[in-house]
């Protein structure tokens, strides 16, 4: 095995559907310790454990199969995606553990590149890679278990918006559509590289800017799509209005959806959310973008509209380089 072939259900597109997860989680017995401030019952991006009045530990894990052919880049994307759950809580990562599944007959050099790619992102996050666990498995999978730290009084949660808040999305949508379109020669190399660059970008930089503002609610956009994660933020208590011409979309994503480059994850997201969404424009390609599963997507934050215009993002430009 010298490299990886793009998998239709790779990346966050491999997530179990939100509806199925809800049913599974409802059946799990719960014991709530007093020092657990946030658990899985609220569908937040990470768990929060209170250590003192000023310190809380944030913990999460994420892993998935490849969505790109280069093992080093796959490692980078998987690590950036896992670290994102910590940033989505307004926290800083401290350390990470590798989670690895790799074929027994696979080439160790490919596994080394995956781990090197992941380590490069952990280092960029100024966190320490402290170990991990690996098993043999017919399908390659990689990710991280991450521990972060924050003030418990300043934790961002994903379902606490205020009426009148403005929504800010820090990355463009459509990475799965563009990557899949590239695989079937319906997207250009330039469009593909921009999608890769987006997935490689740590949400650290957006979090470091937003942390100085009064954020009422935040999450990161991953496998359940913009509409799925926005639905979690609204928590059946609020309504959000999205303006079609203000939604940031990667070049090539709408073309891919108009060419019917669909994903199973996108269709599962549509089936789960369609009764909660009203489209007032006739644009099927746009709908597919909004249901598209994102891997290492941006932060979605709810913020006072009076200060939202003061925020300016300058994110690093990542280059897709094979190692």
Q: At what angle do helices 18-26 and 264-273 cross, to 10 degrees?
A: 70
Which SS3 state, helix, strand or coil, does residue 312 take? coil
Instruction: Report d(CA 224, CA 136) in Å as an integer.
Output: 28
Annotation says 9 is catalytic: no
Q: At what angle do helices 264-273 and 284-291 cross, to 10 degrees?
A: 100
Residue 121's nearest CA partner among 96, 138, 140, 148 is 96
Instruction: Report d(CA 261, CA 177) in Å as an integer.
Output: 7
List CB contacts of 109: < 8 A, sequence separation 6 or more.
none
Residue 173 main-chain phi, psi, to 5 deg: -95, 160
Do the beta carbons of residue 140 and residue 150 sit within 8 Å? Answer: no
Question: Which of these is catalytic: 12, 88, 144, 227?
Answer: 12
What positions carry a catalytic annotation?
Answer: 12
């Amino acid at each position: 095995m010298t490299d990886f072939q793009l998998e239709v259900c790779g990346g966050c597109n491999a997530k179990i559907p939100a509806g199925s997860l809800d049913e599974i989680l409802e059946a799990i017995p719960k014991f709530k310790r007093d020092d657990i401030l946030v658990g899985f019952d609220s569908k937040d991006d990470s768990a929060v454990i209170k250590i003192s009045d000023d310190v809380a530990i944030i913990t999460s894990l994420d892993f998935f199969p490849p969505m790109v052919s280069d093992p080093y880049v796959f490692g980078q994307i998987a690590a950036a995606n896992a670290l994102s759950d910590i940033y989505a809580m307004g926290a800083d990562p401290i350390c990470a553990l590798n989670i690895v599944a790799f074929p027994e007959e696979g080439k160790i050099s490919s596994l080394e590149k995956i781990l090197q790619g992941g380590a490069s992102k952990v280092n960029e996050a100024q966190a320490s890679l402290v170990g991990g666990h690996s098993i043999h498995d017919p399908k390659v999978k990689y990710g991280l278990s991450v521990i972060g730290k924050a003030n418990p009084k300043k934790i961002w949660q994903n379902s606490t918006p205020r009426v009148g808040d403005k929504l800010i999305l820090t990355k463009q949508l459509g990475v799965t559509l563009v990557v899949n379109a590239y695989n079937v020669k319906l997207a250009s190399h330039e469009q593909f590289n921009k999608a890769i660059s987006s997935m490689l970008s740590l949400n650290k930089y957006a979090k470091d800017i937003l942390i100085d503002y009064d954020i009422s609610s935040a999450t990161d956009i991953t496998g359940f799509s913009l509409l799925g994660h926005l639905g979690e933020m609204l928590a059946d208590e609020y309504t959000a209005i999205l303006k079609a011409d203000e939604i940031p979309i990667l070049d090539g994503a709408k073309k891919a959806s108009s060419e019917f480059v669909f994903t199973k994850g996108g269709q599962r997201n549509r089936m789960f959310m369609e009764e909660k969404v009203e489209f007032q424009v006739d644009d099927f390609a746009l709908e597919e973008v909004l249901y598209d599963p994102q891997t290492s997507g941006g932060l979605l934050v709810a913020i006072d509209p009076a200060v939202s215009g003061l925020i300016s993002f300058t994110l690093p430009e990542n280059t897709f380089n094979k190692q």
